[in-house]
Amino acid sequence: MPNFRYTARDERGKAVTGTLPAASSEALAVELRRMGYLVTQTREVAESAAWQALELRFQRISFDEMVLFNVQLAKLISVGIPLVTSLSTLGEQTDNPRLRAAVNDVARTVEGGSSFSAALGRHQDIFSTLMVNMVRAGEASGKLDDVLKRMALLLKRQAELRQQVVTAMTYPAILLVVGLGVITFLLTGIIPKFMKIFVDAGVPLPLPTRILHDISLVVRVWWPAGLVAAGAAAMGLRLWRRTSGGRRATDKALLRVPVLGDLVQKATIARWARTLETLFSSGVPVLESLSLAEETAGNAVVADACRTVATSVRQGGALAEPLKASGQFPPMVIQMVAVGESSGTLDTMLGEIADHYDELVRHSLKRLTTLIEPVFLLLMGGLVALIMASVLLPLFRMVNVIH
């Protein structure tokens, strides 16, 4: 289906432009009239431009760019600059082409009379449901700049947590890649040459050397099939995880992994508490906040617990009891939530919980890194030593045969 570039007028007579796919220019005009626009001009977009639009759609927008957008927008609004002017200014200075196009479209939509939250909702692949609901609450309360600051802080803390995880896993990942590379080189490049020497010399091979020879043969002959099988298994696991049952099963298994499961639980609780604190402080209704916290929990088991809490609140109950019944939240979290409910300071208590568990996550990451490094070194060193011993044992025998 071809893409068409159009120019139209909205209900207020404001000129708008954009690109939409349509079977023909007539079909495009019908669709735009249905959307409330009066078409003034249409033209078919060239294939290269359509490819650029497709490339733009898959342009990645980083956490840092979203944080910067929220911080700058909050600052512009707080000093009294109108929303449309603020959005247009940010659209001009944004380097990311995909974010720039979205911000400019939001500015045009708001200028056409739409609410800011509704304009953001047109780009939910960029602006999350969480952000749309927080902006809606900010519009209702008249504290949009404060809500945007809270959103920026939330994104910043999530980005910091993700960066900590990436930093902690970088060195072990390098060790793993280097170790596997060395072992693969030994199995495919060194071992076959020594095996040929031993066989030609008639040296009897010990059991470890024979096992190593068989492994080397399998790696050299079947590595393409192994790569295909590994790729198929990874794809199958990914597709299974997209199902509700698969995601629940894998998330439950992940929570049971020693050390790593504890880290995942703490990070999930920190994200859950921080999201709820931000939503409650921004004036989002309780049930809506619980639903959004369920979507952003990042773990299906904790999301199930959030769903149970929402059901309890909907029936007039409290938050603490269903949290306790779920078995996924430590006693300290439950007690602090109960105190926050009874004293009317639930958002403050959730902020304290989030801060505490952010600190626990940092300590757990440090402990995990400290544990992984020696384990990897011992494992890789042991494998290399085993390979070298399997080579040296028949080498000593060959020396004896020569003597």
User: How much is the pLDDT for 208?
Assistant: 78
Assigned token pair, 185: 């080189």
Assigned token pair, 239: 């597709």
Task: Answer whether 63-155 and 169-403 agree in fold.
Answer: yes
Compute how many other C-beta atoms are within 10 angstroms of the C-beta atom of residue 300. 19
Does the pLDDT at position 47 exceed 80? Answer: no
User: How much is the pLDDT for 51?
Assistant: 47
Q: Which of 164-168, 333-337, 371-375 has the highest mean pLDDT?
A: 333-337
Describe the crossing of helices 260-282 and 300-314 by its angle, rounded to 10 degrees. 40
Is residue 293 within 8 A of residue 276, CB to CB? The reply is: yes
Does the pLDDT at position 349 exceed 80? Answer: yes
pLDDT tens string 216-240: 888 777 878 878 888 898 888 888 8
Nearest 5°: the CA angle 359, 251, 152 is 45
User: How much is the pLDDT for 261?
Assistant: 82
What is the residue-averaged pLDDT of the chain? 80
Compute how many other C-beta atoms are within 10 angstroms of the C-beta atom of residue 236. 11
Question: What integer is the mean pLDDT of 336-361?
Answer: 88
pLDDT tens string 88-144: 888 888 888 888 888 888 888 888 888 888 888 888 788 887 788 888 888 877 778
Does the pLDDT at position 252 exceed 70? Answer: yes
Q: Under CATH, which architecture does the 63-155 domain have? A: Up-down Bundle (1.20)
CA 361/CA 167 separation, integer angstroms: 13
| Sequence-distant (≥ 6) Cβ neighbours of residue 242 within 8 angstroms | none
Question: What integer is the mean pLDDT of 42-64?
Answer: 61
pTM above 0.75, yes or no: no
Question: What integer is the mean pLDDT of 232-250?
Answer: 84
Does the pLDDT at position 368 exceed 60? Answer: yes
pLDDT-above-90 percentage for the chain: 1
Question: What integer is the mean pLDDT of 28-32?
Answer: 76
pLDDT tens string 158-189: 777 777 777 777 877 887 788 788 888 877 87
Does the pLDDT at position 149 exceed 60? Answer: yes
Assigned token pair, 305: 């617990």
Does the pLDDT at position 48 exceed 60? Answer: no
User: How much is the pLDDT for 279?
Assistant: 82
Does the pLDDT at position 1 exceed 70? Answer: no
| Sequence-distant (≥ 6) Cβ neighbours of residue 370 within 8 angstroms | none
How far does CA 52 lie from the centroid of its chain?
25
User: How much is the pLDDT for 156?
Assistant: 80
User: How much is the pLDDT for 59?
Assistant: 67
Q: Which of 330-339, 348-357, 383-392 has the lowest mean pLDDT?
A: 383-392
Does the pLDDT at position 395 exceed 60? Answer: yes
pLDDT tens string 320-332: 888 888 787 888 8
pLDDT-above-70 percentage for the chain: 91
Give the residue extent of every domain in the chain.
3-57, 63-155, 169-403
Q: Which fold has domain 169-403?
A: Receptor-associated Protein (1.20.81)
User: How much is the pLDDT for 57?
Assistant: 57
Q: Which of 4-18, 160-174, 349-363 has the highest mean pLDDT?
A: 349-363
Q: Which of 9-18, 26-35, 158-167, 346-355 has the lowest mean pLDDT?
A: 9-18
Does the pLDDT at position 393 exceed 70? Answer: yes
User: How much is the pLDDT for 49?
Assistant: 44
